[in-house]
Structure 1
Amino acid sequence: MNEKRLLIVDDDEIFLNRLGRSMTRKGFTPTLAGNVAEGKRQAQTAAPDYAIVDLRLQDGNGLEVVEAIRAVNKHASIVMLTGYGNIASAVAAVKAGAIDYLAKPANVEDIVNALLADKGTPPPPPENPMSADRVRWEHIQRIYELCDHNISETARRLNMHRRTLQRIMAKRSPQ
């Protein structure tokens, strides 16, 4: 039987260990890394076939790890995880070489399905698509990032009062 080498990179140690144990039960052989530097080092030595990488890590961006994995294994299946999901970062992750992008908390079944999905077929449509409020939130977040986190400039570009924008952004993201 082929060994399913998996690299998991996340700076949340509890989540990292729990996901590692779950993926072992699913038949993977995980290697764990807690930061970008360790993730890049493990990518070089382990040459994983699969990877689960957190987008925002304490010492940098998970996209650096994706690029390091792609350098040693062009065919690796890489899933990006993040607690800060937005469309702009999802596009960046896919351009860097990730095959899927999941928001935390993602369940293990969703992660395994994404890792093992046939690369030639598009994923099925989501059972619970984003609400109109969530799409609006994503758009505002994208513009905010493009404006280098300048609230006044974001409000101007969205043709919105700055205080209104601040109130919207102070709330939790809609589901």
Structure 2
Amino acid sequence: MKGLLVDDDALYLRTLQRALQRRGLDCATASEIEGALALARRERPAFALLDLKLGAESGLSLIEPLRAIDPRMRILLVTGYASIATAVEAIKRGADDYLPKPVTADALLRALRGEPATPAPGGAGMIPLRRLQWEHIQQALHETGGNVSAAARLLGMHRRSLQRKLAKRPGPERGGGEA
């Protein structure tokens, strides 16, 4: 199955692409809207995974043009800033699913099959809280250009607390799905 992954985070994009490749999916990648549309026209993917925030642009604006290219394409929107408002907007525009970021390859495969993206409570595959916290901190650092003091203000915490959290980078999850 061919897919299109659209995200402005190059590391996340490559990691997810490799994880899906190991599961038998061939995915093209793009980091901006115009490149994503060009790839979709050329490759005709069966699904597209779109990040909500693409730099100054929004992945929401990709949903309708992708749907016009292929009405059968599964379109999944992912975001680190999940809200009811953006979920409703994504579905109104034609997205098939809305997933919190970081989405694992296994959760993505479940969503593509139309299954719940997260397994039943207590099931393996939930992303550990420390990993989600780490990703949130990384997003804040990215938005502040790596400025720890500004990121701490953005997160509503003391700079020293943030520095302690940064010193405790979470390791690979036990038995969890890789991204």
Shared fold (TM-score greater than 0.5)? Answer: yes
Report deviation, 1:75.
0.9
Identity among equivalent positions (%) equals 34
- Contact residue 110 and residue 117 of structure 2 kept, 8 A: no
Structure 2 unaligned residues grouped into runs of 5+: 122-153, 158-179
Counterpart Cα distance in 2 of 1:59 and 1:71 = 23
Correspondence for 1:147? none
What is the root-mean-square deviation of aligned Cα atoms in Å?
A: 2.2
Correspondence for 1:16? 13
Equivalent residue for 1:47, pick from 40, 44, 47: 44
Question: What one-letter code is carried by the residue in structure 2 that aligns with 1:50?
Answer: F
Counterpart Cα distance in 2 of 1:126 and 1:39 = 30
Secondary structure of the residue that 2:13 maps to in structure 1? helix
Correspondence for 2:91? 94
TM-score by length of 1: 0.65
Secondary structure of the residue that 1:8 maps to in structure 2? strand
Correspondence for 2:69? 72
Deviation sequence 1:89-127 (CA, Å, 0-9, x none): 011111122111111122211111001227xxxx48974
Counterpart Cα distance in 2 of 1:57 and 1:124 = 22
TM-score by length of 2: 0.63
Counterpart Cα distance in 1 of 2:78 and 2:26 = 19
- Contact residue 48 and residue 69 of structure 1 kept, 8 A: no
Residue 89 and residue 32 in structure 1: after superposition, are their counterparts in 2 closer, same or farther (change >3 A)? same
Structure 1 unaligned residues grouped into runs of 5+: 129-168
2:28 paired with 1:31: yes
Report deviation, 1:44.
1.7
Correspondence for 1:107? 104
Residue 37 and residue 124 in structure 1: after superposition, are their counterparts in 2 closer, same or farther (change >3 A)? closer
Question: What one-letter code is carried by the residue in structure 2 that aligns with 1:106?
Answer: V
- Contact residue 5 and residue 28 of structure 2 kept, 8 A: yes
Deviates more, 1:48-57 or 1:58-67: 58-67
Counterpart Cα distance in 1 of 2:14 and 2:118 = 31
Report deviation, 1:170.
6.2
User: Looking at CA atoms only, which structure, 1 or 2, has the larger radius of gyration?
Assistant: 1
Counterpart Cα distance in 1 of 2:52 and 2:23 = 23
Counterpart Cα distance in 2 of 1:59 and 1:125 = 29
Counterpart Cα distance in 2 of 1:36 and 1:125 = 28
Counterpart Cα distance in 2 of 1:67 and 1:44 = 13
Counterpart Cα distance in 2 of 1:39 and 1:63 = 13
Report deviation, 1:17.
0.6
Q: Which runs of 4+ in 1 moved over 6 A?
A: none
Counterpart Cα distance in 1 of 2:114 and 2:54 = 26
